[in-house]
Amino acid sequence: MISINIHSEPFRRDGNISAEGASKLLGRPSLSPLELLLRETLQNSWDASIGEKNAVPSFKIRVRNLNETEKLKFQSFFSELPPDEANESVNKGLKRFFNKPNQIVLEICDFGTRGLGGPFSASESLSDLESNDFVNFVKNIGSPRDIQLGGGTYGFGKSSLFKMSKCNTVLIETLTRNKNKIQNRMIGYALGSEFNYKGKRFTGRHWWGTKSESLEEPNSVDPLIEDEAKIYAKEMGLMTRLNSSRTGTSLIILDPNLEDLEDNNEENQLALERPEDNDLLCKKLMIRIQEILLWHAWPKFTPNEDENVPMKCTISIFGNTKNLPDPRYISPFNLLTASLNKARKKEDEIFSQRPKKLLGYVGVQKFSYESEADQRFRKLLGEESLIPDKLSHFALLRPAELVVKYISRTLEEGQPQWGGVFICNNDSEIEQSFARSEPPSHDDWNPQSLENNYQRTYVNQALTKIKEKIKILSGINSIENQEENDSLFEGDSLAKLAGDIGRSLIGKGFGGSDGSKERTQSSGSSKPKISRLTKPIALGTKLVDEKLIADFSMQLSTKKDNVVDINLKSFVKTDDGKEFFAPNGKSPKITKVLVNNKEEFLEEDKLTFKQDSDNSDIRVSVEIPDYVAVYLNAELLNNE
């Protein structure tokens, strides 16, 4: 029988990163441990499916209680432990786990992905076409991204695996291609704590496998391969991988920390000793995992236009297996899925102004009626539920279509629910700008973290225009809201400029210093009649047939029965003044003119009508392109 050995990593003369340092690389994300774990592992699985020719990748989660045969096999694999004298955390954690009457494991598996291929040694050189996935996942920390348009960027997310284990230990099993052959691999990996032993200092990182034949590091271990890996996997009860169509990776977390699903009152905590007999715990765990996957990754489970889903998902809790619900039929996710379908069509574009670049695509959807949220999640999870009762959220995505974060506003009484989606452009320059603005936990876009000025501008301008869209969806479109609008984007001239959209505060017209023009007219011996047109005043913005419209008001004073000519022209507002075209190449367009509530029509930008009183109220509606601010120029030409 093959011998399984432990290798505890010593500090090198030139230094290493300690296990504690590695576990802290995610910083302090706002997500719970289970959220972070599922979010990061699903992202890794999606990245591993890119370029594969298999069917739709599948993501499987299984929580189970080991049977007696499986317990013995796990204990056999992890029989060698860090030395007792070191008082090391992995040693204590694994002993506690194997002494429990019920030993729970959490398995996260993917199929239809490429698995963890490549050499076993981190020092081995690679050809440009050779994979280094095994070393990057099992040995290296913080490797650069090598997947074009993938979701991950740092390789730090694997520390979430160890944070989820009470003994900081994970078993890794994979079926991959190695030098054009299918190969099974298995290795154990733990992140513990630094310790001293026999005059040496150790990092706290440990691996379990077979003794390596490496002369460079004779005490290191390699993974079990081929039949040895298959036998252990079968006797441990792992999900089977029998042929090349089942390539992928299984991550088995020993003694998972599921305490965030238990009652917060310590005296009434749900016992984990017989979890399969605790119906409430099983239901709560199932619902919690479903909710996390939907909230953070619903685009991956939303079918494309051809009705093919990007990724499949099943969840098994102590033998009860369910498919992840279709988000299109769960309120309020149906608002987000409708918005995603619009964004995927790439019809509503967002551009930066200087330099002019296509930043991405948006889609929005409003409820035209009052809709109640699906209560299956909140009924069991209560206030811990991630899914809001009412939706007013804009989801930010990169082309991998994993939710980076939501930007939201609280709805006031009577306001309709809405959902929005932004997908950044898959152009490498743009996509990398957004990817590099993310922290290791991939849960934010922080333009201030970018050193490149262009990249910082792209992310800043996209966020600004998204926030402007949110203000419009939230009904912040009147002069009364000016103070609130100003407070959102202070300190950024371009952001402030775009902030003008929310209230359509257009500024001074070009027909005079105040937008008015005076004319005099003589009729016989009577005194001249002074005609006056006030400057356009912004009344607010609105959505009409999914088009963004700004309304303006002007007052005209002139002699009754005069025939009036007014030249009306709309422009894009910039830092330098006016432009005829927005960054997307479109011009603002006047769509409607009302004079005393009667519709009039333009001829080549000229409004002509007969004055039926001494004073007229003129309303002009302008279609706004690309979420930019606009001017309206109104010039009184003549009267008769």
Collect contacts of 383-390 with beta carbons under 8 A, ≥24 apart: 384/260, 385/291, 386/35, 386/291, 386/292, 386/295, 387/291, 387/294, 387/295, 387/332, 387/333, 388/332, 390/332, 390/417
Domains of the chain, CATH where assigned: 5-51+60-104+160-255 (no CATH), 333-491 (no CATH), 532-639 (2.60.120)
Structure tokens at 489: 């984007």
Sign of CA dihedral 586, 591, 593, 597: negative
- Checking if the pLDDT of 524 tops 50, the result is no
DSSP character string of 104-148: EEEEEEEESS--S-S-S-TTS---TTS--HHHHHHT-SSPPP-ST
- Other residues' Cβ atoms within 10 Å of the Cβ of residue 368: 8
- Comparing 611 with 325, which gets the higher pLDDT? 325
pLDDT for 120 equals: 86
Q: Is a pLDDT exceeding 50 seen at residue 531?
A: yes
With a threshold of 0.75, does the pTM exceed it?
no
Average pLDDT over residues 409-423: 88
Residue type, 134: F
Convert the pLDDT of each residue in 437-478 to its tens digit.
988 778 899 998 898 999 999 999 999 999 989 988 887 643
Contact of 580 with 633, CB cutoff 8 Å: no
Residue 509 falls in which region: left (phi positive, over 0), alpha (psi -120 to 50) or beta: beta
Between the alpha carbon of residue 330 and those of residues 130, 336, 367, 372, 374, the distances in Å are 42, 10, 14, 10, 6
**Band of pLDDT at residue 515, cut at 50, 70 and 90:** very low
Summarised one tens digit per residue, pLDDT across range 323-339 is: 999 999 998 899 999 99
CB count in 10 Å sphere of residue 487? 9
Neighbours of 471 (CB within 10 A): 22
Q: What is the pLDDT of residue 364?
A: 94
CA distances from 592 to 286, 465, 601, 602 (A): 54, 25, 8, 9
Residue 604 has pLDDT above 50, yes or no: yes
Quote the pLDDT of residue 142. 59
Residue 424's alpha-carbon distances to 5, 85, 362, 436, in angstroms, are: 47, 53, 9, 13
CA-CA distance, 577 to 581, in Å (whole number)?
12
Model confidence at 579, pLDDT cuts 50, 70, 90, reads: confident
Strands (DSSP E) contained in 353-473 are: 357-366, 392-397, 403-408, 418-424
Low-confidence winner among 64-73, 219-228, 387-396, 577-586 (lowest mean pLDDT):
577-586
CA distances from 19 to 103, 152, 292 (A): 25, 21, 28
Q: 332: cis peptide before it, omega within 30°?
A: yes
The pLDDT tens digits for 333-375 are: 999 999 999 999 999 999 998 889 999 999 999 876 566 778 8
**Residue 565 pLDDT:** 87
